[in-house]
Chain A
């Protein structure tokens, strides 16, 4: 690992597609191991693109990007991605879906079963192994999607608005469970969200982004104590942080916006 000892390091990263306008410009950020980082900003400011760069799904146009001290391609085994849609394989049951990444690696049956059981227990879906995605609720599908990401024991979890399509109650429960799982596993998270409250509840640091080209317009530390629970949402500090981040987000948006 490089001396700066960030698990993910972006230095002056720029990204553009073809000869389009720059989507990201001079983007620098260092994630310490185990940190929970949120990215929040108006639609189209490059949040998904940033995650896709870290995931190695697309290449930087300029600048330096290191993941676990290596290129994203070399670090692929340490990365897991969770999309807003559960993106499950509808023809496989829950067990089959969670095992897919292991199967592709040629893991033995016993290894797969052990890892799958562990991941399903973490997301509270033990006992639903034989259910098919069409039989699950939106929240349950997202749990399967999370289990599938965790089954590889990743060092870095990339989550692109994973709870954005869920109802408020399910969403808050999953936030709490996600933090509980992190306390056990200690991965580093990049979490994209449109919800200020969600970002504050989950994060150690929040990056507010502004568009055209996408860059960091504010960085806000969230000193709320761990473990965070439903009680945390009632605290004064939590409420104040929501107000502060909302203000920063407003000033990041174009002045003409309604």
Chain B
């Protein structure tokens, strides 16, 4: 593709994105100016949010770092244990029937119920935040990866049997690579959930001790102090983290699967 053609192809989406952003901003400001005096705190101007973020920059940077730490740790744990558990579940339908209900229990218990227990066991702050993130990210990874490991093409499995492949060869050379697209689907969901999980975790099990907590704790603190522009800044940062997290995983999936999987491939390859 020529540079010109590339620009022509990518320009409309970019323009659309900027246009939507502009419409949103204008609407925001318009609504702000029409709010009655006593409600104006509900929707501070983008300028006010920007200013508040600047004033709190050091604190927010620290909180963002703490939240990312918890999110990454929990996300990593979820990848490790989710894949491992998926391998175990893929062994047989009997194993799945026996273990799945217990694993679902983890997913069905609301985090605010678990949070106090986790704080007791692991301690407030990073350990609890990472554990809560882990709990939230674990299930989509587990379910998708297991699905992938058991959906291997039956004829390919038969070919491997005819070639006298051992159980391990069948797993590493067939079932695991065949499950990769499913794994990455789970990873994408988990990547969206990880920052949310870390913020929720921090909100319910965070602590100001040590280095001042993460974004969840900040959100809690600002709301009790009626610091609404600062609260909006936290919302914006959390959203940004989600985008970065998902973008990174999309990039990784494309690197891992782009050459062979249609859904991840560039059109021109």
Query: CB within 8 Å of B: which residues of A?
Result: 52, 55-57, 76-77, 79-81, 83, 85, 87, 89-92, 100-101, 103-105, 132-135
Contact = CB atoms under 8 A, between A and B. Distances in A.
A89 B177 contact: yes
B155 interface: yes
Contacts of B37: none
B162 A133 contact: no
B177 A85 contact: no
Secondary structure at the A interface, as helix, strand, loop or mixed, is mixed
A104 B162 contact: no
Contacts of B265: 134
Contact of A87 (B156, B163, B173, B262): B156
A205 B244 CA distance: 65
A218 to B, nearest CB: 30
Interface in B77-135: none
11 contacts: A52-B158, A55-B158, A56-B162, A57-B162, A87-B155, A89-B156, A91-B178, A91-B257, A92-B260, A103-B173, A105-B163
A169 B216 CA distance: 65
A79 B164 CA distance: 11
A55 B173 contact: no
A86 to B, nearest CB: 10
Contacts of B165: 104
Interface string B225-269: 000000000000000000000000000000001011110010001
A100 B178 CA distance: 15
B60 to A, nearest CB: 43
B190 to A, nearest CB: 22
Interface in B153-200: 153, 155-156, 158-165, 169, 173-174, 177-178, 180
Given A91-B180, A91-B260, A133-B260, A104 B164 contact: yes
A104 B153 contact: no
B162 A132 contact: no
A7 B244 CA distance: 62
Nearest to B160: A104
B173 A104 contact: yes
A174 to B, nearest CB: 19
A41 B213 CA distance: 73
Contacts of A87: 153, 155-156, 159
A8 B141 CA distance: 48
A79 B162 contact: yes
Nearest to A149: B159
Contacts of A91: 177-178, 180, 257, 260-261
B161 to A, nearest CB: 7
A81 to B, nearest CB: 6
Contact of B163 (A83, A100, A135): A100
A76 B160 CA distance: 11
A91 B169 CA distance: 16
Contacts of B260: 90-92, 132-134
B259 A132 contact: yes
A79 B158 CA distance: 13
A117 B158 CA distance: 25
A111 to B, nearest CB: 15
A248 to B, nearest CB: 30
B184 to A, nearest CB: 12
B177 A104 contact: no
